[in-house]
Amino acid sequence: MKILRSQDGSITQDIEKIKQRMSLFADTVTVEMEEKTKEVFGEPLSPLESVKRIVNDVREKGDDALKFYSDKFEKTTLTIDNFKVKEDEIEGAYKKVSPDFISAIKNASENIRIFQEYIRVREPKPFFSNGTRITVNYKPIENVGIYIPGGTASY
C-alpha cells in the first residue's frame, strides 16, 4: 500500500492516478445494462449518464419521474400515494416487532443523533479584513433523494 503525504510534491499527481484507476470501470456497460437503458431511455447509456438523466428528470418532474423509473427498473405498480408510508402501516409494523427491538432502535437513533451533533461543523466566528466582515453560513439540506435498487438492478 502506498502512503500519500501532503508534504510530498507529487501528491496531486498521485491522487489523479488513483482517481483514474477508480474510474476505469465507471463507463463499463454489460449487455443487460445496455438492454435496460435502451428499454428505458431509448438508447444505451453508461451508469453515470443514466443517473444524471434520472436525477434531472426527478428534479424537473418530481414524483411522476420517481413512479416512471420505479415502474421501468423495478417492474412495480406504485402509485404516488404509495411513496409515503401511512400511519396505520407504521403502527402495524410496531406490533410485529418486540419491545426490545424498538428499544434497541431508539437507543441506536439517540446514539447517532448525539454523535452527529458532536461532529457537526460549527460556523466560525466572523473574520474581518479591511473593514469587511467575512462569514461562513451552513444551511441544512431540505430535500434528499435516495435510490435503493431492488432485485432487478444490474450490478
Number of domains in the chain: 2
Q: What is the mean pLDDT of residues 14-22?
A: 70
Residue 59 lies in a domain: yes
74 and 90 both lie in a single domain: no
How far lies 109's CA from each of 55, 73, 97, 113, 114, in Å? 29, 32, 17, 6, 9
Same domain assignment for residues 128 and 96: yes
Residues 70 and 113 in one domain: no
**What pLDDT band is residue 155 in, cutting at 50, 70 and 90?**
very low
Looking at residue 113, its pLDDT comes to: 93
Together in a domain, 97 and 125 = yes
The reply to whether 79 and 94 lie within a common domain is: no
In a domain, 135, yes or no: yes
Length of the chain as a residue count: 155
Distance CA 69, CA 73 (A): 6
* CA 93 to mean position of chain CA atoms: 25
Q: Could you tell me the residue range of the domain that residue 118 belongs to?
A: 85-139
70 with 54, same domain: the answer is: yes
Listed residues 49, 65, 83: the one ending a domain: 83
% of the chain exceeding 90 in pLDDT: 37
Does some domain include residue 11? no
pTM, to two decimals: 0.49
Percent of the chain with pLDDT over 70: 81
pLDDT at 147: 64
d(CA 13, CA 26): 20
* 78, 92: one domain: no
Q: What is the per-residue pLDDT for 139?
A: 84
pLDDT of 45-57, one tens digit each? 888 888 889 999 9
User: 84-134, pLDDT tens digit by residue?
Assistant: 888 999 999 999 999 999 999 999 999 999 999 999 888 889 999 999 999
Q: Are residues 67 and 103 in the same domain?
A: no
